[in-house]
Structure 1
Amino acid sequence: MGYLLKSVDSVVKIFEDGGRIGWLGVLGLFSGWIVWIGMIKGLAVMLPTLQEQFNASTWLVGWMIAITEASMEFSALFASPLRDKFGVRVVVTVSGVLIGGSLIASSFASSLYQIAILITLFAGPAVGVTSVVTREMIGRHFRESLTIALGLGGLGSSLAFVTMVPLTQFFLDAYGWRGTMLLLGAIFSHLGVCGALMKEPAVTRSYDEYQTVDVLEEPAVTGEGEADAPNSRCHSCLETVHSFFSKTFNISLLSSTSFWLICLMMNIWMIMYTAWFIYFVPNTISKGFSLKEASTCVVIYGIGRLPASVTIGPLVRNIPAINNSGWLGIGLVTQCIYYLLDPWLITYWPIFWAAFIYGYFSAMLLLLFDVIVIGIFGADQLGSVLGLIGPFAGLSRIFSLYFPGLIYDILGSYTLAFTVMGGVQCLSVVALLLLVWLQRRHPSGF
């Protein structure tokens, strides 16, 4: 009885920690992850169909999906300024409308390029902005239960694999790719309804906050003074622009070594993770399995994510011997091993269980990155850090994620591609070790 009362009291404290606004942020993150994963993985499931429909190469369709996710990362740079200007409610609501509208419009497209333009310019940025502002909202309102709140929000990505992947496959079989785009657009539009529930007041940022340049009455000068006046005005203008960008995007973070190590670590992991997103189904099919069997393994991956989202918070709190960096290192090493072993997984059950394990550690890594950023830079800087990492992540996706498909087009196998992915993933472990060493020399809450 005493244990039960203690458990109930613990649950009550968790709910009180974030308050109404914090839990609305969890709801927003939950819905945003469903849209993000549902869109990217849904396009990946449609990859063979789109390739056949538009007579396109594997690498081209895969690259289109990679560019879509790159646009999600690029938009992170503008998430915090948009939140400060309009508030979370407006940002998330408008994002839901843009996502649904662009996918519905894509169902009427007559070429692959039209689909890429619609999704990249409208749906991708809207998803990326929603992800950042809701994670930032959670970071600002949760203290003791931060990891648990991020884990519950991350359940959306887990459920997306369990529900959206088979649902997309069903839509594809029953209605074709056009009907699938139309129905997914209608489903994802519900993100706008979730945004309408968020009533956190907007924090308007007035331009009066920025340093202004005093314009003095120009004295009557001759000779060299006449030449100095335009230069002075130009210098003052540049200072104003620099001050604006510095305060809007917090570019002072770029001078931090910890930021660059986190940027490198997250970028490497996200590139490999997105490559798995895009090419897992084609890779499994190339081993002799059907599309249905490959999609089932994706569902198992999503099921593997579910316990991670629920258990990582209590694990971090109740096993102090392993800190956040320790859990992060375990996850990164496990995924390195997975990529290196994948070419030798050629029967169903090993692929099945490997997908489950990969899913567990993927969910764990996804939320631990946010926790570590908050631990080093603080909750108020989470949006700025993610925003500055976004452009680097987007560019790296654009210039790298067509390689697995290109290797397959040339060699007819994904063996080399997944082996290279495992080797590159090891670099993220090196970056983590350097970050831990740096934080021990200069502790800052890591």
Structure 2
Amino acid sequence: MSNVMAKDRGWAWIITLTSFISMGLGPGTMKSLGVMLPTLRQQFSTQTWVIGLSISLTTAIGVVTCPFAGALSKRLTPRHTVMTFSILTVIGFIMASLATSVEFLMVALLLTGFSVGADAVITGEEAIWFDKYYNISIAISQAGLSLGIMIMPPMTQLLQDIYGWRGTMLLLAGLNLHRLVCGALLQPLQTDPVELEDKDFFKRSRKRQLQENSVITNLVHYLDLSLFTDAEFISMLVYRLCSGYCFTGWLIYLVPHTMELGFQPYESSFLATIGGFGNLLAAILYPILKICTPDKTILYLATFIITFALGLDPLVSSYHSYIGLAFLSCIYVLATGMTWLSVYKIVKHVVEDDKMTNAMLWMNVADSIGGICSGFFSGWTFDVTGSFTLSFLLLSAISLLALCPQFIVDMRGVWKARKYASL
């Protein structure tokens, strides 16, 4: 007889709730730091790219923490991993509020990046807990990201005006403490008692086997390095890397970009709220589109829309059109949300459940690498040229480049199908 803690029902929807909260906290917090960028630049009397790089370090640590989180989840449990990483994240924000130099701020924000590993573990658990209703579950989680982007930027601007940037950092620490509760709610998936007993026996046997194996064999097991033999998975990794570059650049530099055009801080931060509304639309529309449209078709179409939105930004900015910038923000984040949801589904189709957590963690590693590069190069381009025109044009080009590996994989599949059909 099946236990109540089975796929697509019961506790599975609690996992969706935890993912909803964590997805809102992650990008929402980074957008808050983007709002604080002009203040931090003035406070520490430094260049734009230095603060931009410091903020991007919130995802940079994901390059290290995500593989570590995957191995720790296998060795211990996802619950303990998320709770530990959440505490380290909160400590990082508290340290940031005490920063007296850029170097100290960088170290503090590096610690906050443990949230990347925690969020990826939760996302992996969500993929494991769902089959039939996975489209609906990830759409609900995406709605959490939307609300985070919509609410946190103007809220951060308000808190900064009232409490200063140090007080705002402490309040961000309090908000991120909610991730600790999310970790406490994670439960192992259970089905048939006989199957559970078989799994326990397999785990004990596997543990004895690993103790006898070499270090390299253990690394392959705990980090699921065999994932890198799958061309489809690698193409999605490259896509997430380029997507992470574009989204981090937009997330950090949108507010400074619009303020540089002459708009007020509250007007600039509200553009991020409009972008969050676009992501909310993606969460609503995706399950509907999935009824009649394959994931890869959605991925291709949404990527072209992203390229269009980012490429038009310099033209709209030259006219100082607030409505135009708001429209581009909305459709950019709408299309980005569609691509993320499509990538999650494609990965779920090509990866087995026992490797799903590490698959999602490696996706976040790629996203983090893209974020690090964008935090530096997008800010450095502004410092060199004096405007964000070239930065946004590069984001547009890189968004289109993201499709190249997946296009090659798809063309290879078409060629093979035609070859077999001709035999």
Interval of TM-score (by shorter of Structure 1 and Structure 2): 0.7 to 0.9
Conserved in 2, the CA contact under 8 Å of 1:21 and 1:200?
Answer: no
Conserved in 2, the CA contact under 8 Å of 1:77 and 1:249?
Answer: yes
Give the aligned partner of residue 415 of structure 1: 389
Give the aligned partner of residue 111 of structure 1: 101
Deviation at 1:441, TM superposition (A): 5.9
- The aligned runs of 1:194-213 (5 Å cut-off) are 194-200=182-188, 208-211=207-210, 213=212
Conserved in 2, the CA contact under 8 Å of 1:74 and 1:394?
Answer: no
Deviation at 1:30, TM superposition (A): 1.1
Deviation at 1:79, TM superposition (A): 2.5
- Aligned CA distance change for structure 1 residues 147 and 439 (closer, same or farther; 3 Å): farther
- Aligned CA distance change for structure 1 residues 383 and 195 (closer, same or farther; 3 Å): closer
Give the aligned partner of residue 338 of structure 2: 364
Conserved in 1, the CA contact under 8 Å of 2:243 and 2:402?
Answer: yes
Give the aligned partner of residue 332 of structure 1: 303
Give the aligned partner of residue 323 of structure 1: 294
The yes-or-no answer on 1:81 pairing with 2:71 is: yes
- The aligned runs of 1:2-41 (5 Å cut-off) are 18-41=8-31
Give the aligned partner of residue 262 of structure 1: 236
Give the aligned partner of residue 427 of structure 1: 401
* Letter of the structure 1 residue corresponding to residue 32 of structure 2: G
Per-residue CA deviation, residues 121-164 of structure 1 (Å, 9 max, x unaligned), is x3212x12222221221211211111110110121110001211
Among residues 96, 115, 124, which one is paired with 2:113 in the alignment?
A: 124
The yes-or-no answer on 1:351 pairing with 2:325 is: yes
56-65 or 256-265, which deviates more: 256-265
What is the number of residues matched between the two proteins?
Answer: 399
- The aligned runs of 1:45-84 (5 Å cut-off) are 45-84=35-74
* Letter of the structure 1 residue corresponding to residue 112 of structure 2: A
Deviation at 1:341, TM superposition (A): 0.5
RMSD: 2.3
Conserved in 1, the CA contact under 8 Å of 2:48 and 2:383?
Answer: yes
Structure 1 stretches lacking a partner, 5+ long = 1-14, 214-238
Structure 2 stretches lacking a partner, 5+ long = 191-198, 418-423
- Aligned CA distance change for structure 1 residues 270 and 398 (closer, same or farther; 3 Å): closer
How many angstroms apart in 2 are the aligned matches of 1:378 and 1:201?
Answer: 15
Conserved in 2, the CA contact under 8 Å of 1:95 and 1:130?
Answer: yes
SS of the counterpart of 1:18? coil
Conserved in 1, the CA contact under 8 Å of 2:245 and 2:372?
Answer: no
Q: Provide the TM-score with structure 1 as the length reference.
A: 0.84
How many angstroms apart in 2 are the aligned matches of 1:343 and 1:427?
Answer: 19
Conserved in 2, the CA contact under 8 Å of 1:152 and 1:309?
Answer: yes
* Letter of the structure 2 residue corresponding to residue 282 of structure 1: P
Give the aligned partner of residue 32 of structure 2: 42
Conserved in 2, the CA contact under 8 Å of 1:77 and 1:390?
Answer: no
Larger Rg: 1
Identity %: 26
- Aligned CA distance change for structure 1 residues 302 and 54 (closer, same or farther; 3 Å): same
Give the aligned partner of residue 131 of structure 2: 143
The yes-or-no answer on 1:401 pairing with 2:375 is: yes
* Letter of the structure 2 residue corresponding to residue 59 of structure 1: W
Q: Provide the TM-score with structure 2 as the length reference.
A: 0.88
